[in-house]
Structure 1
Amino acid sequence: MEWNYQGDRGPDNWKTICSAFYQAETESLQSPIALDDNQTNLTSSQHSLRFDYNRTLFESSFFNHTVHLSPKTNEKVNFVTFNHKKYFLEDLHFHLPSEHEINQESFPLEFHLVHRSVKNDLLVVGVTVLPSERPMNTVLAVIDEKALHPRIAERGLTVPIELKRLLPEKKQFYHYTGSLTTPPTSGPVEWIVFRHQTYMRQGLLQAFKRNVGKTNRPLQPRSGRPIYLSDC
């Protein structure tokens, strides 16, 4: 079903487009949400999180209104272990501006690393991004600006990425249970959102704005669910 980020098929009306979208939005707690240090249920290290990431070739595509990068290899070499359960990386994509709000602040961009367990459970890692003329800790700079154009991304360009360098230097993270942020916005999805930001060079960020545009779902109600703040 066709949906959009503006107009009569925008986020406020997603659940009216079809019964599957309605069911997904009404039967699960929704994402994104506002994350705030002062509203977390617990600040501790009780949630164990480990990243096993390797340098990997990704292939570009353009769908659901944004650029996606998928691992070219079928081998499950990139995974997250959260609370002793493995989730394997299957997709990297981008939202502008950020979907999550952190301590009352929005950011120019947020990217999502989508993982799936062998039992088909989902875990998404969210990383918010700040612009910098001299990015300190990002490999997003390897993405050629031309690759962000929808028609070029659709050609399946190959991009090498050192995945560990995508993550912020400070690994403190929020954890909560929510949903996907694009239709059907089904859940449950385990969300890991880093409290601190990584960096993207200004030129690449501008290219995202020109070629991708606004692709963020508005904040959803917290609905009383617990939110945790932990150290990696």
Structure 2
Amino acid sequence: MIKSVWQLTLALVLSTSAALAEGWSYEGENGPDHWAALSADNAICATGMFQSPFDIVADIDADLAELDIHYGQMPVSVTNNGHTLVVAGGADDHVRIGDTDYRLLQFHFHTPSEYLIDGRSFPMEVHFVHQSEDGRFAVIGAMIDEGPANPAIAQLWNVAPYDHDTTGSGEAVISIRDLLPSNQSYMRFMGSLTTPPCTEGINWHMLMTPITASAEQIAAFRSAFPHNNRPIQPRNGRLVVAER
């Protein structure tokens, strides 16, 4: 397990190589340049015009709908799916955007950040994936910069399993809101899933204020996943609206 920041001398022993040899991966013959060829379902990874991630630069400011976030506390449980660490949302966790409720399906992490903001890359990024009752997706993204340790990340890393396709859990309770900045102003744009099948039509809401994790916490994740970010995609003229 990624027990704590005090055990960072562990080598890159995650047994993800077998999982990544099947299906898609972040490098080699099954890497991002080849995702579209791995399955007909992935064709849009190569042909899509609104693929994520890209370099986010705001075009205009506007009065955007508030992100009315309702995340509670939950027992710590983390799954290693061979590509990242994933945490399932609780039954009542959701965000209201305008007049629509989107249930939190899961959140997961990338290193380094997948998106750039004004050309800047961050050490890590977290994505909160939501879906409405009518099937629409809304993703909230938050950059993770190096700084003070994050208490929620500390609890997650304490139980996170090294072996792929396994789940670690503990008795501690995590507050998901600790993974959000206090200032939730955001930039809105259309994009896609950043992993196969690269589905487009995703409403993205990128928070403009990063959260922090300690250098040790970032290194702990990288010891398991040295890099799990899709390369930057063409922006293709899409509009980015920043909250005024």
Normalised TM-score (structure 2): 0.83
Q: Which residue of 2 aligns with 1:156?
A: 168
Code of the residue aligned with 2:163 in structure 1: it is R
Name segments (4+ residues, structure 1) moved above 6 Å. none
Q: 1-side partners of 2:125 and 2:164: how far apart?
A: 21
Code of the residue aligned with 1:177 in structure 2: it is M
Code of the residue aligned with 2:181 in structure 1: it is P
> CA 1:190/1:58 → structure 2, altered by over 3 Å: closer, same or farther?
farther
Q: Which residue of 1 aligns with 2:155?
A: 142
Displacement of 1:197 in angstroms is 0.7
Q: Which residue of 1 aligns with 2:26?
A: 5
The answer as to whether partners of 1:28 and 1:188 remain within 8 angstroms in 2 is no
Residue 209 (str. 1) matches residue 222 (str. 2): yes
1:1-232 to structure 2, matched below 5 A, reads 2-23=23-44, 25-27=46-48, 29-36=50-57, 40-71=58-89, 73=90, 75=91, 77-132=92-147, 134-135=148-149, 139-145=152-158, 147-151=159-163, 154-158=166-170, 160-230=173-243
Give the secondary-structure state (helix, strand or coil) at the position aligned to 1:139. Answer: helix
Normalised TM-score (structure 1): 0.88
Give the secondary-structure state (helix, strand or coil) at the position aligned to 2:216. Answer: helix
> CA 1:175/1:64 → structure 2, altered by over 3 Å: closer, same or farther?
farther
Q: Percent identity, aligned pairs only? A: 27
Q: CA RMSD in A?
A: 2.0
Unaligned segments of structure 2, at least 5 residues: 1-21
Aligned residue-pair number: 222
Displacement of 1:119 in angstroms is 1.0
> CA 1:25/1:56 → structure 2, altered by over 3 Å: closer, same or farther?
farther
Give the secondary-structure state (helix, strand or coil) at the position aligned to 2:138. Answer: strand
The answer as to whether partners of 1:25 and 1:184 remain within 8 angstroms in 2 is no
Q: 2-side partners of 1:14 and 1:24: how far apart?
A: 7
The answer as to whether partners of 1:122 and 1:190 remain within 8 angstroms in 2 is yes
Unaligned segments of structure 1, at least 5 residues: none
